[in-house]
Amino acid sequence: MSWISDIARPDIVALKPYEHASWEPPLERLHANELPWRTTGDDTDAGLNRYPEPQPRELVARLAALYGAEPKQVLVGRGSDEAIDLLVRCFCRAGEDAVLVCPPTFGMYSVAARIQGADVVTVPLRAESGFSLDVDEVIRQCTPRVKLVFLCSPNNPTGNLLNEEDVLRIAARVEGRALVVVDEAYVEFAGVPSLIRHVKDLPQLAVMRTLSKAHGLAGARCGTLMANPEIIALLRKVIPPYAITQLTVETVLRLLEPPQLAIMNARIRQIQSERARLADALRTLPDVKRVWPSDANFVLVEFADAERALKAARGANLLIRDVRAQAGINRSVRISIGTPEQNDRLLEALR
């Protein structure tokens, strides 16, 4: 064991995980209390009367290849939300440990911490410099209580990429006492290399990816954590044994074939084009005070009257996200990039 186990919850390190029914596909199954017949209408390959494979090997291998990781560095869960929850549960003791977040950012990091009874340390992003990291303050606030540093890049809801050198500098300073968890849910829209390439050499770095955004599979609930194998082994003790449904496994494997990936890449290019067109058009509207640069599939827009903008969108049968409750963006809304027709309809409503 390394320092990773030293900073994890000792009860998780010592935990004997649940022993699920053995997975031996060549043998007929009379060991898992399953019904021996398929239900009417079940046209899956494996049969929904059977429990799915825990951490399905073919899916793990496919996602590892997609993201440029090794299978032993991969944990598959129900979206990035499950990875966030597992990390907090495995590394944070209630009432003793803490996570660090940089608001405005994705709210589940703080929610997962508070559910676990962990504290939340905040170091706001610097709006005056495009919502960049305050690296020195992050490092200063990483006391021994902080076990996880959550960074979102591109950041939600601001849309900006975090500077890679800043992230790596923080990771270098917390080695041996904390993990830096980078959420790359939107990185496909940024057109930059993933930080996954650093995971092998930096045991304190973990990277989350999801199929929900660029792949259009939000309803499949399939996310991936890439991290040091020791971290993956710890989290596998805690994740439910049959977390990934057979429907998800078969659907995802089918939709990660080369023809579907080509379609995905074409749609990413269309989103990027529409993102630029929508941002340019929004900047011409008199009620728009600022459109923040975005590397994601959304834009953050500051309005003179955000309430009026929200109502105008509803009047056009469109929902945009009210993010005014978050620190530093109290006059802003977040607009996901839609189809050209939806974007035109929104612009017309805002005019």
- The whole-angstrom separation of Cα 129 and Cα 149 is 21
Across 179-187, average pLDDT: 98
- pLDDT band of residue 208 (cuts 50, 70, 90) is very high
Integer distance in angstroms from the first to the last C-alpha of the chain?
A: 61
Contacts with 225 (C-beta within 8 Å, 6 or more apart), sequence order? 74, 75, 77, 80, 83, 86, 87, 206, 207, 208, 232, 235
Across 296-309, average pLDDT: 98
- The whole-angstrom separation of Cα 35 and Cα 30 is 9
Is the pLDDT score of 182 beyond 80? yes
Enumerate the β-bridge partners of residue 132: 126
Tokens of 58: 């073919």
- The whole-angstrom separation of Cα 77 and Cα 223 is 5
Tokens of 184: 């790359």
Residues of the chain with CATH 3.40.640.10: 3-256
Fold of 3-256: Aspartate Aminotransferase; domain 2 (3.40.640)
What is the side-by-side order of every strand in the sheet holding 288-291?
Answer: 288-291, 298-303, 332-336, 321-322
pLDDT for the residue 13 = 96
Peptide bond into 157 cis (omega under 30): yes
pLDDT for the residue 6 = 95
Peptide bond into 154 cis (omega under 30): yes
Is the pLDDT score of 1 beyond 80? no
The answer to whether 210 touches 224, Cβ cutoff 8 Å, is: yes
Q: CA 236, 239, 241, 242 torsion: positive or negative?
A: negative
pLDDT in tens, 83-124: 999 999 999 999 999 999 999 999 999 999 999 999 999 999
Residues of the chain with CATH 3.90.1150.10: 259-350
Enumerate the β-bridge partners of residue 146: 98
CA distances from 304 to 62, 309, 314, 320, 348 (A): 47, 9, 18, 16, 17
Enumerate the β-bridge partners of residue 74: 226
The answer to whether 195 touches 245, Cβ cutoff 8 Å, is: no
- The whole-angstrom separation of Cα 67 and Cα 72 is 13
Phi then psi for residue 223, to 5 deg, are -125, 165
Strand segments (E) across the chain: 74-77, 98-101, 119-122, 146-152, 179-183, 205-210, 223-226, 288-291, 298-303, 321-322, 332-336
pLDDT for the residue 327 = 87
The answer to whether 301 touches 292, Cβ cutoff 8 Å, is: yes
**Which amino acid is it at 29?**
R
pLDDT in tens, 306-347: 999 999 999 999 999 999 999 889 999 999 999 999 999 999
pLDDT in tens, 235-244: 999 999 999 9
Is the pLDDT score of 58 beyond 70? yes
Fold of 259-350: Aspartate Aminotransferase, domain 1 (3.90.1150)
| Angle, CA of 345, 346 and 348, to the nearest 5° | 65
The answer to whether 23 touches 51, Cβ cutoff 8 Å, is: no
Across 23-36, average pLDDT: 93
Contacts with 199 (C-beta within 8 Å, 6 or more apart), sequence order? 69, 73, 205, 206, 207, 226, 227, 228
Phi then psi for residue 59, to 5 deg, are -70, -45
Task: Return mean pLDDT, the chain.
Answer: 97
User: Could you please report the per-residue DSSP string of 216-238?
Assistant: S-GGG--EEEE--HHHHHHHHHH
- The whole-angstrom separation of Cα 148 and Cα 119 is 11
